[in-house]
Amino acid sequence: MSENRIPENLVICIDTSRSMFRKDFSPNRLACCISAAKTLIQNRFKIDTLSAIALIKYSDKPKKVIDFISSSFGDKLIQALNSFRCEGYSAMGDALALSIKILIAELRKIGAKTPRIVLVSDGRYVRSAVDPIKMARVAQGLNIRIDTFGIGNTGKDNILKKISDITGGRYFYNPDFESLNRSAQEIADDNYKTYNAAKEVLIENPAFLRKIAADLLRVQDLTKDQEQRAKQIRGEVDFKKCSICFSDQDPYTKGTFYITGRYCPSCTTPFHIHCLAAWADSQKNHKIKRSGTARCPHCFYLLKIPIEVTQIQKLRVLTKGVKEKLNQTPEIMPAKFIKDVAMLGEEALFKACPVCQLIYEKGQSAVQCGNLQCNALYHEDCFKKLKEGHCKSCDMKLHLY
């Protein structure tokens, strides 16, 4: 029946604070909530094998017990639930913040599933911690639905119903175990394709993409493990070289990788921010272009291009017509024919042709830009493809005498 349903990334967030040990539910509130969570998990996976479920518990602090797993590993969720114990106070706002954080990480991936949170609590929370209502507003902005199970008497200030109302979720009042179990069965069964169909449109909305995209990591941001991972991917000597232009030097700013180099936070692949922006601009997805984001060419993780780079791109487009008028008779710079690229040194072999983005081999001929501040290298055939002979790196008009 999975094909009739919308696959979801579902976070089950359970309150394990001391108030959940009350015995108005037999044997206690937490034990009944664990039983209901098992019902939800087993029934959902029985009718929908494409959804994934994560598990969070919270008292004084929230803890991600299990990240998103599919139906094949459902037993791990059941085993984890059996280990829950009551302790401490209820940091509900922090728990919602963690739930939203792990959902955003999933939304950044290609082919993301619809996000959803199920919050199970008696409604008590520490008011000095993160405000749950504030987190509900954040979830609302990301169109993350929060369904809430209210256990027992939630009091006059029904925080759980407010959270559900803000996010467009459902609030379930559960005065006994039977109603709690029915609520779990309803949540397990209600992700038909007719439900929340507008979500697919939102995920492709440029403003939404910009909001959830991950920030690129700088060289100094890498942890030791991430740095080692980058070395393994790129090779010990060149983990600080751009994977698009294959150079340490930024072809746009002429700065070093340490200044304009960044890493994908998912797979730690290195890029110059300008190279990544240019690569994104060459793609056919116009929504991605308008959002100021890009998908990592290696792992397809959604990345945020720094605003200053996107502004420069827009400025180039706006001033293109003016620039053409000012340079109607541009200076012609002689290009230089290189019989063997290896004659320029080993570093030249790792430079990429600005047209085809391929690196060079020993014995291969090339054409070098005559601008000493540029020195871009082109394959002979690629040089012939330059529009009106303009260098793609410095825009100087070239002629091979």
How would residue 325 be classed by pLDDT, with cut points 50, 70 and 90?
very low
**pLDDT-wise least confident of 38-42, 107-111, 288-292:** 288-292
Closest to 390 in 3D by CA, of 379, 376, 237: 376
Higher pLDDT, 49 or 241: 49
| CA separation for the pair 34, 282 (Å, rounded) | 50
Whether residues 347 and 255 share a domain: the answer is: no
How would residue 203 be classed by pLDDT, with cut points 50, 70 and 90?
low
Give pLDDT tens digits for 352-374: 788 887 777 888 888 988 887 78
Q: Given 203, 223, 239, which residue is the final one in a domain?
A: 203
Residue 213 predicted with pLDDT over 70: yes
pLDDT at site 145? 94
Whether residues 164 and 234 share a domain: the answer is: no
| CA separation for the pair 98, 64 (Å, rounded) | 8
Residue 295 predicted with pLDDT over 70: yes
pLDDT at site 329? 44
Percentage of the chain lying above the pLDDT 90 cut: 38
**pLDDT-wise least confident of 136-150, 202-216, 260-274:** 202-216
Give pLDDT tens digits for 382-401: 888 888 888 888 888 888 76
pLDDT at site 310? 61
How would residue 117 be classed by pLDDT, with cut points 50, 70 and 90?
very high
Whether residues 216 and 194 share a domain: the answer is: no
Domain count, the chain: 3
How would residue 327 be classed by pLDDT, with cut points 50, 70 and 90?
very low
Whether residues 279 and 149 share a domain: the answer is: no
Whether residues 47 and 69 share a domain: the answer is: yes
Whether residues 36 and 95 share a domain: the answer is: yes
CB-based contact 289:283 (threshold 8 Å): yes
Mean predicted confidence (pLDDT) in 153-169: 88
Give pLDDT tens digits for 12-53: 999 999 999 999 999 999 999 999 999 999 999 999 999 999
Mean predicted confidence (pLDDT) in 169-197: 86
Whether residues 312 and 336 share a domain: the answer is: no
pLDDT at site 320? 52
Q: Given 145, 177, 203, which residue is the final one in a domain?
A: 203
Residue 330 predicted with pLDDT over 80: no
Whether residues 339 and 196 share a domain: the answer is: no
Whether residues 309 and 181 share a domain: the answer is: no
What CATH number is attached to the domain comprising 231? Answer: 3.30.40.10
Cα–Cα distances in Å, from 52 out to 4, 66, 133? Answer: 16, 11, 26
pLDDT at site 237? 46
Q: Given 171, 203, 235, which residue is the final one in a domain?
A: 203
How would residue 326 be classed by pLDDT, with cut points 50, 70 and 90?
very low
Whether residues 198 and 214 share a domain: the answer is: no
pLDDT at site 271? 87
The residue range of the domain holding 344 is 332-399
242: which residues sit within 8 A by CB, 6+ positions away?
248, 250, 257, 261, 270, 271, 272, 275
- Strands 377-378 and 302-304, bridge-based pairing: unpaired
Point out which residues pair with 263 in neighbouring strands. Answer: 217, 270
Buried b (16+ CB within 10 A) or exposed e, 170-206: bbbbbeebeebbebbeebbbebeeeebeebeeebeee
What CATH number is attached to the domain comprising 181? Answer: 3.40.50.410
Whether residues 223 and 124 share a domain: the answer is: no
pLDDT at site 228? 59
Mean predicted confidence (pLDDT) in 322-346: 69
Residue 285 predicted with pLDDT over 80: no
pTM above the 0.75 mark?
no
- First-to-final CA distance of the chain: 69
| Per-chain mean pLDDT for the chain | 83
Whether residues 234 and 98 share a domain: the answer is: no
Structure tokens at 144: 């993350």
- Name, of 74-78, 215-219, 316-320, the range with top average pLDDT: 74-78
CA 375 centroid distance within chain:
36
